[in-house]
Amino acid sequence: MNFVFCSSSELDITDSASCTTVFEKHQPDFCINAAAYTAVDKAENEPEKAHAINVTGAQNVAAVCKIHDTVLLHVSTDFVFDGEKTSPYTEEDRSNPTGVYGQTKLDGEKEVAAVWEKHFIVRTSWVYSQFGNNFMKTMLRLASERDTLSVVNDQIGTPTHAVDLAEVILKIIESGKKAYGIYHFSNEGQCSWYDFAQKIFEVNAVSIQVNPIPSTCYPTPAKRPKYSVLDKTKIKEVFGLDIKKWEQSLEPFPSVV
């Protein structure tokens, strides 16, 4: 496989002309759209910006994929659900976002499905890696600055290592299957943010006191799903996947400058 990686300055998905220019140059067989407005709380005050990236952007990418007969793999989120269930969410469960971020991601999914049939929408959750802004990096940074931390323990979900997500997207491509539609993927198992933090510190040999607190003690502009574990039955059966438990994928954090 040959890959072309585009930054937001090289490919502005909110600008259809930018999408056209890049696609005409590279003529891709597949497009992985991992671009998104993901600042969950800021989205409450910047709904237009979130909509431009998550909805209009998704529509633009789908439209140019259709013109070039490019298979689209679009990354979405567990935030399309309200978190009121107590068992893992399947692809058939009713979506009901509780905030701007989740709503724009759901609307983006709908645009992709309406514009171009050759699509795979992959919903995922609690993604972390050594790059970008994510919970693992935040916890390790705060641990270097403080003696104690308080982390919410009443929001339940599943961490997903970005490498595992990337590998699954490549497996979908390599499979050659045309089983288009929505799929759920995360690592296996479930935990609270408090549990996740504890494990991060354990794996990285960080000694710090972590206190569990309810969400009511840490109010945020956007409401989070209380429970957003994703059912991976469909993606495992269609693509023959063996998915790692979230604890197995959590490795010591490398120093990145």
Closest by CA position to 167, among listed 70, 113, 244:
244
Closest by CA position to 147, among listed 207, 217, 196:
207
Structure tokens at 116: 């171009």
Alpha carbon distance 10, 225 (integer Å): 34
Closest by CA position to 122, among listed 157, 169, 82, 87:
169
Task: Kindly report the backbone phi and psi dihedral angles of residue 207, in degrees, each rounded to the nearest multiple of 5, phi listed first.
Answer: -100, 115
| Pair 75, 61: CB distance under 8 Å | no
Structure tokens at 93: 């469960």
Q: Residues with Cβ < 8 Å from 6, sequence gap 6 or more?
A: 22
Structure tokens at 44: 């409450």
In one-letter notation, the amino acid at residue 18 is S
Q: Is 101 a catalytic residue?
A: yes
Q: Which of 37, 89, 101, 128 is catalytic?
A: 101
Say whether 80 sits in a helix, a strand or coil. helix
Show which residues are catalytic.
Answer: 101
